[in-house]
Chain A
Amino acid sequence: MTPSEDAGEFRDLLFELLGVLEDAGVEYLITGALVRNAFGQERTTQDFDIVVHPDQADPEGLRELLAPRGYDIEGPTRGDLGRRLILRFPDFWIDLWLAPDTPLHRGEFDRVVRAELHGRELPFLHPQDFVLRKLVNTKVRRASHDLDDAYQVLLFAWDLIDTDALMGDAALHRVEGKAHELIEIVRSDREQLEHGETPEGV
């Protein structure tokens, strides 16, 4: 099997699940590493993260939808970042996050950004919301990739992000110090990179 065929397996796995959700009228958005990969420099991952709209985040309903289609479902389980169903595959899993009914989560669905992969339009968590979430994640867990994810997406999706609004949201979540530092680093790096210069220390 060539790397492209193997990569196609991951894509097909994603498209198949999204197709099931869409056919059932379930509203969702894509988050996690796939947002970073769509809007930043890529990294590998062992899972995909899909968020189900608060109005449809019913674990029993989702289980009834997915189990007859052969999905190996675990949960719902509650972790540091919320409640989810886990769809298991060999060496891989998909987290189906059950969005709680809050203005923050509803707002994220109002701001989705769409991007196309191989003829299919996909809804992603907005890069600005992604950066905020990653900064908040650093308060509740020690995952080495959270800050890097935030940096990459802020750097490459800079034009899509309102840094003043991001700072306002960061203050509400008590991560304004980190947000300010990250924005200043990205601003400085970007200024040099846009002029074809490698930033000092890289």
Chain B
Amino acid sequence: MRVRSAEELVAAMPEPEEELDLRTQVKRPTAGQYAHWKAKTPGERLWAGFKLMAFARSFKVRTRDSK
């Protein structure tokens, strides 16, 4: 019997029934947020992402230390 690759197996899987409106599962931006992010270069966006990660980590450390 031929062994199927992971990709063949995934391709053969049925698409799950969509029970929710996809709009409710994504963070759609306001006009202001869109203009703000659209104006940034990929490098500026990446750096903003790193800063967000740093903030999330410092928040996590503060929360953990305060317990």
Residues of A in contact with B (beta carbons under 8 Å apart): 3-4, 6-11, 33-34, 37-45, 82, 91-92, 100, 102, 104, 115-118, 136, 138-140, 144, 147-148, 151-152, 155-156, 172-178, 181-182, 185, 189, 192-193, 196-199, 201-202
Question: For chain B, what secondary structure do more than half of its interface residues adopt (helix, strand, loop), or is it mixed?
Answer: helix
Complex: chain A residue closest to B48, CB-CB: A42
Is there an interface contact between A38 and B45, defined as CB atoms closer than 8 Å? Answer: yes
Q: Is the Cβ of A10 less than 8 Å from the Cβ of B50?
A: yes
Q: CB distance B43 to A45 under 8 Å?
A: no
Q: Chain A interface secondary structure, helix, strand, loop or mixed?
A: helix
Contact between chains at B31 and A196 (CB < 8 Å): yes
Decide: B56 and A193 in contact? CB cutoff 8 A.
no
Taking a contact as CB atoms under 8 Å apart, the answer to whether B50 and A196 are in contact is: no
> In angstroms, how far is the closest chain B Cβ from the Cβ of A158?
10
What residue in chain B is nearest A142 (Cβ atoms)? Answer: B16
The number of chain B residues touching the other chain, given as a range, is 35 or more
Instruction: Indicate if the CB atoms of B42 and A44 lie closer than 8 Å.
Output: no
Contact A41 B37 (CB under 8 A): yes
What separation, in Å, do the CA atoms of A37 and B41 have in the docked complex?
A: 11
Residues of A within 8 A of B55 (CB): 3, 44
Docked pose: A193 CA to B37 CA in angstroms: 12
Instruction: Encode contact with A along B48-59: 1 for CB under 8 Å, 0 otherwise.
Output: 111111111110
Interface centre among A43, A44, A92, A182 (most CB of B within 10 A): A44
**Inside 8 A of B2's CB, which chain A residues have their CB?**
none
